[in-house]
Structure 1
Amino acid sequence: MSHTAHILSHRKPRQRASKSALRAGVAGGVLSTIAVAGAAGPAQADPVTQTIEMPTITSGFSTAVAASAQATQQVALDLETQADEDAAAEKAAKTAKKAHAEAVRKAEAKKKAEAAAKAKAEAEAKERAERASRTSERTTLSASSGSSDSGSSASAPSSSSSNVSGSAASIVAFAKAQVGDAYSLGSTGPNSWDCSSLVQAAYRTVGIDLPRVSQAQSTFGTQVSLDNLQPGDILYWGSAGSAYHVAVYVGGGQFVGAQNSSTGTVQRSLDYDRPTGAVRVL
């Protein structure tokens, strides 16, 4: 037996060596294939061209994404702008509504003020007309009676307040005591009167409750002639039932009445403002 026959070999088995060769061959084949493909000429250049164009596709996709993001941002800006416009429009509508309401309020206030001024002017005009009418009647009476004493005596009753007694005396005394008080339409005393409230208050001193207004007072009692007056009789101006002024006859051809805001409560001669008629209550 040879001496070397029993020496173990440190080399790897051949089977493993063949596997390494196989792997190397495969790798070499792949490399060779690639080398052959690269050397194949223009006919085999298409795959390379496709591969080179990939960055271009990627760049286009990025541009599209950027454009989409920009479009989204623009839509968001448009929505925000629309919201601001809607808020501004709503605010403007509220402001316009408030301004309209204020204008309506001012117009109504102006209308009421004008109506009040018109009513006041009409009342003053009516009072002036009534005063002018009484003045005209007084002038006519004076012209028809002449300047003779007998004519004056005929136009004025002969009753004197000095010999008045009983209920009539109380009425006359109350009326005279108010001379100098103010006139105010609707007032009922004690320091300011209108014509009918003064007459009503005078009669209340003797327990007689007259109606409140001159129209009703001019028919409360018995109609008497102006030539047959007695102290305490109610004088009225205008027609019975629609009189616009009343006063108390106090005797001696005199009456006491709350005339108007200019004169207040006064005592005057019948010739100063000749009444239309008279009623007797007592």
Structure 2
Amino acid sequence: MANPNPLYGTGIFRRRIHLRADDNAVAVELEDGNHGFRIVLRHDGEQVSGIDVDAVRHPFNTCPEAAVPLQRIVGQRLDISAQTLRDRLVPGENCTHMFDMAALALSHARGNGSALEYDMAVEDEVDGRASRVEISRDGRSVHAWQVQAHHIVAPAALAGLPMMRGFHAWASRQFEGAELEAAIALQRAYFVAQSRRFSFDPPEANPGIGDGMPQGSCYSYNHGAVERALRSTNTVRDFTHTPEKLLRFEP
């Protein structure tokens, strides 16, 4: 099992996603403290014709293999509903982050020439005090919440709502369009931010099977992969004080 991170409580988890849609392709880049991915989704204006994945930085040696189940998106219509996409691709059989990036690309595939950038910041939760959890789109704040023990405490209109299990149910009722898209992205960042609580050094002592994650949490935690999932070395970054380095994919 991983050990507590002695630096937890002193930092901020940061994630950045950049998307650009052109004539027949959408490029999405994602980087945070644990991951660095690039994807390009290609289409003919009606359906997906291909998807390419560049797994730059990832927690396990098995993560790049998740590019294979993601190929199920090829042939899907651009106007497919989010629920149908989840049913056909089965998120638990994919890399969570590749899947989210592909879904985001799909939803913006017809925005020729458009670009957007999301920045997410999740403060460490210290001594039981609420932490600030925020997402901005192209530099403008979309959601800014105070969260304690995995539940929102402010703003008052959202107080008591969960940030983990049950999030998507209430968020889908509360928000729509761009606000819902941003809320889902922020929840995912909050989930990944919990990894800051732990130290996975030395990597060889922390294989995937030792994490105790439920079967199907993601590709690398599935039977057949988790037994082979060895933690990658030198992959964790701390962007607390250097958000400008996000999406540089520095070694």
The TM-score, its normalising length taken from structure 2, stands at: 0.20
- Bigger helix fraction: 1
Larger Rg: 1
